Amino acid sequence: MILLDTDALIEALRLGVEPEDWAISVITLIEFLRGLKPEKVKPVKEALERAFTVLPLSNSVIEKYCQLYSSLKRRGQPLPDADLLIAATAITFNAPLATWNTRHYNRLKRENLRLIDPAKLGIKRRRQPPQRRHGYT
Protein backbone atom coordinates (compact mmCIF):
# COMPACT_ATOMS: atom_id res chain seq x y z
CA MET A 1 0.00 0.00 0.00
CA ILE A 2 1.17 3.53 -0.85
CA LEU A 3 -0.29 6.58 0.87
CA LEU A 4 -0.93 9.59 -1.38
CA ASP A 5 -0.40 13.08 -0.04
CA THR A 6 -2.94 15.69 -1.10
CA ASP A 7 -0.74 17.05 -3.90
CA ALA A 8 -0.36 13.59 -5.44
CA LEU A 9 -4.07 12.83 -5.07
CA ILE A 10 -5.05 16.02 -6.89
CA GLU A 11 -2.73 15.27 -9.81
CA ALA A 12 -3.75 11.59 -9.96
CA LEU A 13 -7.40 12.61 -10.24
CA ARG A 14 -6.64 15.34 -12.77
CA LEU A 15 -4.76 12.87 -14.96
CA GLY A 16 -7.28 10.07 -14.50
CA VAL A 17 -4.59 7.68 -13.22
CA GLU A 18 -6.18 4.44 -12.03
CA PRO A 19 -5.42 3.74 -8.36
CA GLU A 20 -3.49 0.58 -7.68
CA ASP A 21 -2.85 -0.32 -4.05
CA TRP A 22 -3.17 3.31 -2.99
CA ALA A 23 -4.62 4.81 0.15
CA ILE A 24 -5.30 8.28 1.46
CA SER A 25 -5.46 9.62 4.99
CA VAL A 26 -8.75 10.94 6.27
CA ILE A 27 -6.85 14.25 6.50
CA THR A 28 -6.10 14.16 2.77
CA LEU A 29 -9.77 13.41 2.14
CA ILE A 30 -10.77 16.47 4.20
CA GLU A 31 -8.18 18.71 2.51
CA PHE A 32 -9.50 17.70 -0.90
CA LEU A 33 -13.21 17.98 -0.06
CA ARG A 34 -13.00 21.38 1.63
CA GLY A 35 -12.28 23.02 -1.72
CA LEU A 36 -15.50 21.75 -3.32
CA LYS A 37 -18.92 23.33 -3.57
CA PRO A 38 -21.13 21.97 -0.75
CA GLU A 39 -23.42 20.04 -3.12
CA LYS A 40 -20.45 18.13 -4.56
CA VAL A 41 -18.92 17.04 -1.26
CA LYS A 42 -21.05 13.92 -0.69
CA PRO A 43 -20.79 12.38 -4.19
CA VAL A 44 -17.07 13.13 -4.48
CA LYS A 45 -16.42 11.76 -0.98
CA GLU A 46 -18.25 8.55 -1.85
CA ALA A 47 -16.33 8.21 -5.13
CA LEU A 48 -12.99 8.68 -3.34
CA GLU A 49 -13.97 6.13 -0.69
CA ARG A 50 -14.70 3.61 -3.47
CA ALA A 51 -11.43 4.31 -5.30
CA PHE A 52 -9.04 4.49 -2.33
CA THR A 53 -8.60 2.93 1.07
CA VAL A 54 -9.19 5.80 3.51
CA LEU A 55 -6.98 5.36 6.57
CA PRO A 56 -8.49 6.69 9.82
CA LEU A 57 -7.10 8.67 12.72
CA SER A 58 -6.74 5.64 14.94
CA ASN A 59 -5.34 5.73 18.46
CA SER A 60 -2.01 4.54 17.06
CA VAL A 61 -1.92 7.40 14.54
CA ILE A 62 -2.76 9.93 17.27
CA GLU A 63 0.01 8.57 19.52
CA LYS A 64 2.51 8.66 16.63
CA TYR A 65 1.44 12.23 15.83
CA CYS A 66 2.13 13.27 19.44
CA GLN A 67 5.55 11.61 19.36
CA LEU A 68 6.44 13.31 16.04
CA TYR A 69 5.16 16.67 17.25
CA SER A 70 7.28 16.48 20.38
CA SER A 71 10.38 15.43 18.43
CA LEU A 72 10.03 18.23 15.87
CA LYS A 73 9.29 20.80 18.56
CA ARG A 74 12.49 19.86 20.41
CA ARG A 75 14.44 20.28 17.16
CA GLY A 76 12.75 23.60 16.37
CA GLN A 77 11.33 22.21 13.12
CA PRO A 78 7.53 22.32 13.44
CA LEU A 79 5.22 21.15 10.67
CA PRO A 80 1.61 22.05 9.95
CA ASP A 81 -0.75 19.71 11.80
CA ALA A 82 -2.28 18.32 8.59
CA ASP A 83 1.15 17.29 7.24
CA LEU A 84 2.13 15.82 10.58
CA LEU A 85 -1.10 13.78 10.79
CA ILE A 86 -0.56 12.48 7.24
CA ALA A 87 3.03 11.53 8.11
CA ALA A 88 1.89 9.83 11.32
CA THR A 89 -0.64 7.85 9.28
CA ALA A 90 2.05 6.73 6.80
CA ILE A 91 4.45 5.66 9.56
CA THR A 92 1.75 3.90 11.60
CA PHE A 93 0.49 1.92 8.60
CA ASN A 94 4.06 1.31 7.34
CA ALA A 95 3.19 2.87 3.98
CA PRO A 96 5.50 5.01 1.87
CA LEU A 97 4.13 8.51 1.27
CA ALA A 98 3.85 9.69 -2.34
CA THR A 99 4.38 13.45 -2.28
CA TRP A 100 6.22 16.32 -3.89
CA ASN A 101 6.35 18.12 -0.54
CA THR A 102 9.76 16.79 0.37
CA ARG A 103 10.78 20.08 2.00
CA HIS A 104 8.40 19.35 4.88
CA TYR A 105 8.46 15.58 5.00
CA ASN A 106 12.25 15.14 4.83
CA ARG A 107 12.33 16.27 8.46
CA LEU A 108 10.66 12.99 9.38
CA LYS A 109 12.94 10.52 7.61
CA ARG A 110 14.77 9.81 10.88
CA GLU A 111 11.32 8.86 12.28
CA ASN A 112 10.99 6.13 9.61
CA LEU A 113 8.86 8.08 7.14
CA ARG A 114 9.52 6.73 3.66
CA LEU A 115 8.91 9.02 0.68
CA ILE A 116 8.23 8.11 -2.92
CA ASP A 117 8.14 10.34 -5.98
CA PRO A 118 4.56 10.29 -7.36
CA ALA A 119 6.03 10.17 -10.89
CA LYS A 120 7.09 6.59 -10.14
CA LEU A 121 3.37 5.80 -9.83
CA GLY A 122 2.55 7.38 -13.17
CA ILE A 123 1.41 10.64 -11.56
CA LYS A 124 3.09 13.48 -13.42
CA ARG A 125 3.03 17.04 -12.20
CA ARG A 126 1.21 19.62 -14.29
CA ARG A 127 3.95 22.16 -13.84
CA GLN A 128 7.49 21.42 -12.91
CA PRO A 129 8.91 23.40 -9.99
CA PRO A 130 12.44 24.81 -10.20
CA GLN A 131 15.03 22.08 -9.98
CA ARG A 132 16.09 21.28 -6.44
CA ARG A 133 17.33 18.32 -4.51
CA HIS A 134 14.61 15.84 -3.70
CA GLY A 135 14.75 13.60 -0.69
CA TYR A 136 13.28 10.40 -2.07
CA THR A 137 14.62 7.06 -0.96
Lowest mean pLDDT, pick from 42-56, 79-93, 115-129: 115-129
Confidence of residue 125 (pLDDT cuts 50, 70, 90): confident
**pLDDT at residue 137, rounded to an integer:** 54
* Contacts of range 104-109, beta carbons closer than 8 Å, 24 or more positions apart: 104/79, 104/80, 105/5, 105/135, 106/135, 107/72, 107/75, 107/77, 107/79, 108/68, 108/72, 108/79, 109/135, 109/137
Structural domains of the chain in order of their starting residue, each with its CATH number: 2-121 (3.40.50.1010)
Q: What is the pTM of this model?
A: 0.89
**pLDDT at residue 136, rounded to an integer:** 54
